[in-house]
Structure 1
Amino acid sequence: MNHLRRLPFNGPEGKPAFIPVNNPDGALSRFADAVEAQQLTVGQTILALVRPMLDVALTADEARYMLRRTAECLSDALGVAESRGQRLGLSDEPISGTAADLLSKALKQATPDA
């Protein structure tokens, strides 16, 4: 079976791009690894900048800008997680069990209005 790796960027037509996983040390695989690492670093930076802004009065434009950047970083991080999960052979099935239940409970307590 030929396994493919989803690249952290789209192809020339805007569609998802894939490469075979049989050469993890190849130039394109290393480049994809570097792009993923950079995406996660940018996400950490944006998170560090956004957290203090949560307690500041923002204009609607400022809030939208902050949300757009945060959504872009979350999208990138989820893409990295999905790609790495596929390479590890993880299932797309929802997480269940004690850890998932505890996480769900903690999230509900942290965001009572959600």
Structure 2
Amino acid sequence: MTTPNELRLLPWSGPDGKPCYLSTDDSGGYVSRLADNIEAVQLGMAADLVEQVSAVLGDRDADSEDLRCMLAELTGALRDVLRVASSRGHILAVCDPHSTALLR
């Protein structure tokens, strides 16, 4: 069992939108690998979305509905990326105590 400082924030929410955490010493376990894969997919989707948004912003014929849709997708992607960054920042802080300055 790990200490509370070593909990990993998972890239999905639980019931009621509350964060989920993983407590394990095994970074190669099934749930850890699943979380790594989901984070990779989320980051890849965010990168693809940046390209799509650039295309829509460059389209003078894009209407407010197109822009509203892009904003909704960007909001979701940003939420996912922030969760990954928060989780990875926590992992870095646990692994390297000198990296906590990055989290302030």
TM-score (norm 1): 0.75
User: What is the CA–CA distance in structure 1 between the aligned matches of 2:84 and 2:26, rounded to whole Å?
Assistant: 18
Secondary structure, in 3 states, of the residue corresponding to 1:51? helix
2:76 to 55, 72, 75: 72
If each structure's helix is expressed as a fraction of its own residues, which one has the higher value?
2
Distance in 1 between the 2:54 and 2:81 partners?
17
The one of 38, 42, 54 equivalent to 1:39 is: 42
Corresponding residue for 2:63? 59
Q: Note the 1:1-114 alignment, pairs <5 A.
A: 2=3, 3-57=6-60, 58-89=62-93, 90-91=99-100, 92-93=103-104
Query: Where do 5+ consecutive residues of structure 2 fail to align?
Result: 94-98
The structure with the largest alpha-carbon Rg is 1
Question: How many percent of aligned residue pairs carry the same amino acid?
Answer: 34
* Bigger RCO (CA 8 Å, 6+ sep): 2
